[in-house]
């Protein structure tokens, strides 16, 4: 397949409005094949998604020859498959048996259901006369009834060892199960997405970073005015965000801390610190407790520890575009008085959903990713220029521009302008830290370390190579159409539409 030069790829265009973002000098639109576009940047380094360590292409190929494998557990109830990758088999069986888990996994069957067929499959016309409706997902919704799982136990779960060479044939099936909420991805290493090209990973992270656009879009360099975007998808208008924030923080608080050009640097810092403190005071960090908030889990002890089974696509009520739910953690709570001991902890990127956790999740907003997304939305709404920062040793925060300089701010810690806190205070062995907007990536590690040379040794890529990668990535971000997975529109993406590799990339930061 022919490779497309980045030099002729046009400015980023939002699927929501069709307006170009930045540097829109090239006006002709080129519809690029996904594989051709990805081929435009080959960094020579693969990102190991389980640890976010860089490896050269030769090292990655050598590792692939070892013959990695994973455990696939699956079961069939009523003719419908539910599967789990690298899961605790007994816990998976217990989740399958739990009626709510099955119901939400889409385990429905018609009393007369004899399977379903694609309209292009052999014998379809004869089958349709007898059975009726076809289904692309292998399920029929007509006259649906719950599957019979009352006698289900762990012996009904089959476990197979799957090797690398079987993955390509298995991948579409697993992706389809994910989209139907019938696949659980366990917390062990997932060979479905072990490596990702480093440049591609940076592109994906930038594209999915948050953005607040100004009220005036007359210059035509933003996708839509007066809005908040996540992954180039509009998640809220600023009017809607204003209503939400006013309800949780009070309109007077917002008015008092809205940015004023007349403030000097000291005043700006004071107001930003007060906003960070208020956010942390109103919302709680999630410490893997039994956050059982479903209607049938009221008897669970919310102070008890929970155990992670794996990741699953988000529940429909948590998976609107505005929620920007990446996935849900499927967790087991052992300290319950009844059998309803599993709950789902949705990982939101959408600010409205994050602020709503005050009502529907007992003010438990999440972890550093969620706090940083919320802090970005709150401070951006108040008029500050904010960008999103990812530490590749598993932490997330933001930076705020003051007097022409980007200043460190950590919403999950309520801290500000303490860039060495992670290395000297937490003892982190830093590797790479990047600041993102949807059309730019900047390497900012030097700001957060007192020993930059050691970070270079740990990351495994010299400055010259890293700078070359960043130059090409930034060029593509400014001049290239955003990539869509085949069959999905950018503005309508939900967790069920995400590729399993994208889920793996984000799960590293979500777990911080």
Confidence of residue 230 (pLDDT cuts 50, 70, 90): confident
* 72-78: average pLDDT: 81
> Do the beta carbons of residue 301 and residue 449 sit within 8 Å?
no
- In tens, the pLDDT along 93-102 reads 888 887 666 6
> Do the beta carbons of residue 315 and residue 328 sit within 8 Å?
yes
Is the pLDDT score of 40 beyond 80? no
- In tens, the pLDDT along 158-190 reads 888 887 777 778 888 999 999 999 999 987 665
Among the ranges given (14-23, 54-63, 119-128, 404-413), the one the predictor scored with the smallest mean pLDDT: 14-23
**The pLDDT value given to residue 459:** 92
Nearest to 310 by CA among 496, 186, 182: 186
Is the pLDDT score of 495 beyond 70? yes
* 3-state SS, residue 156: helix
What φ, ψ does residue 229 adopt, rounded to 5°? -115, 150
> Do the beta carbons of residue 389 and residue 395 sit within 8 Å?
no
Angle at 125 between CA 124 and CA 129, to 5 degrees: 115
Is the pLDDT score of 85 beyond 50? yes
Is the pLDDT score of 141 beyond 80? no
Is the pLDDT score of 351 beyond 50? yes
Which of 487 and 379 is assigned the larger pLDDT? 379
Nearest to 210 by CA among 411, 376, 326: 376
Confidence of residue 268 (pLDDT cuts 50, 70, 90): very high
Nearest to 74 by CA among 183, 192, 187, 169: 183
> Do the beta carbons of residue 6 and residue 41 sit within 8 Å?
yes
Which of 55 and 288 is assigned the larger pLDDT? 288
Q: Over pLDDT 90: what percentage of the chain?
A: 45
* 215-241: average pLDDT: 80
* 483-509: average pLDDT: 69
Q: Which two tokens stand for residue 324?
A: 């920007």
Q: Which two tokens stand for residue 382?
A: 């108040």
* 3-state SS, residue 491: helix
Query: Burial, 259: exposed, middle or buried (Cβ in 10 Å; 0-12, 13-18, 19+)?
Result: middle
Which of 45 and 414 is assigned the larger pLDDT? 414
**The pLDDT value given to residue 39:** 40
What φ, ψ does residue 369 adopt, rounded to 5°? -60, -50
Element spanning 327, H or E: strand 325-333
* 9-14: average pLDDT: 28
* 3-state SS, residue 433: strand
Report the predicted TM-score, pTM, of the whole model to 2 decimal places: 0.81
Buried b (16+ CB within 10 A) or exposed e, 365-385: bbbbbbbbbbbbbbbbbbebe
* 3-state SS, residue 438: coil
């Amino acid at each position: 397949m022919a490779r497309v030069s980045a030099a002729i790829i046009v400015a980023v265009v939002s699927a929501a409005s069709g307006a170009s973002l930045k540097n829109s000098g090239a006006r002709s639109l080129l519809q690029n094949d996904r594989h051709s576009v990805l081929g435009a940047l080959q960094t020579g380094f693969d990102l190991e998604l389980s640890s976010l360590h860089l490896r050269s292409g030769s090292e990655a190929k050598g590792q692939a020859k070892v013959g990695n494998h994973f455990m696939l557990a699956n079961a069939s109830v009523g003719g419908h498959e539910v599967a789990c990758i690298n899961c605790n088999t007994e816990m998976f069986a217990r989740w399958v048996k739990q009626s709510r888990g099955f119901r939400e996994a889409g385990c429905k069957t018609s009393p007369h259901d004899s399977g379903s067929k694609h309209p292009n499959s052999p014998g379809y016309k004869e089958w349709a006369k007898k059975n009726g409706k076809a289904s692309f997902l292998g399920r029929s919704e007509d006259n649906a009834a719950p599957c019979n799982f009352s006698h289900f136990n762990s012996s009904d779960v089959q476990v197979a060892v799957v090797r690398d060479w079987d993955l390509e044939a298995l991948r579409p099936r697993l992706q389809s199960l994910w989209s139907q909420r019938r696949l659980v991805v366990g917390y062990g290493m997932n060979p479905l997405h072990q490596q990702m090209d480093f440049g591609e990973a940076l592109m994906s992270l930038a594209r999915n970073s948050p953005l607040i656009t100004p009220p005036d879009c007359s210059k035509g360099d933003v996708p839509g005015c007066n809005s908040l975007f996540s992954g180039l998808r509009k998640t809220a208008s600023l009017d809607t965000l204003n209503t939400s924030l006013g309800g949780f923080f009070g309109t007077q608080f917002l008015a008092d801390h809205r940015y004023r050009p007349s403030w000097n640097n000291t005043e700006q810092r004071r107001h930003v610190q007060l906003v960070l403190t208020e956010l942390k005071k109103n919302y709680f960090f999630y410490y893997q407790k039994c956050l059982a908030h479903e209607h049938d889990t009221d008897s669970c002890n919310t102070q008890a520890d929970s155990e992670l089974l794996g990741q699953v696509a988000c529940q429909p009520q948590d998976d609107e575009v505005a929620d920007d739910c990446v996935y849900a953690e499927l967790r087991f709570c052992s300290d319950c008085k009844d059998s309803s001991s599993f709950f789902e902890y949705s990982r939101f990127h959408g600010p409205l959903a994050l602020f709503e956790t005050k009502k529907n999740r007992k003010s438990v907003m999440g972890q550093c990713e969620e706090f940083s997304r919320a802090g970005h939305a709150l401070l951006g709404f108040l008029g500050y220029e904010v960008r999103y920062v990812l530490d590749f040793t598993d932490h997330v925060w933001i930076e705020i521009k003051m007097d022409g300089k980007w200043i460190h701010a950590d919403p999950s810690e309520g801290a500000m302008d303490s860039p060495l806190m992670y290395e000297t205070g937490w003892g982190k062995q830093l590797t790479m830290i990047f600041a993102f907007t949807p059309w730019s990536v900047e390497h900012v590690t030097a700001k957060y370390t007192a020993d930059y040379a050691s970070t270079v040794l740990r990351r495994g890529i010299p400055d010259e190579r890293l700078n070359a990668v960043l130059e090409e990535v930034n060029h593509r971000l400014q001049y290239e159409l955003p990539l869509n997975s085949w069959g999905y529109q950018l503005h309508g993406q939900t967790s069920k539409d995400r590729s399993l590799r994208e889920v793996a990339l984000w799960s590293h930061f979500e777990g911080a």
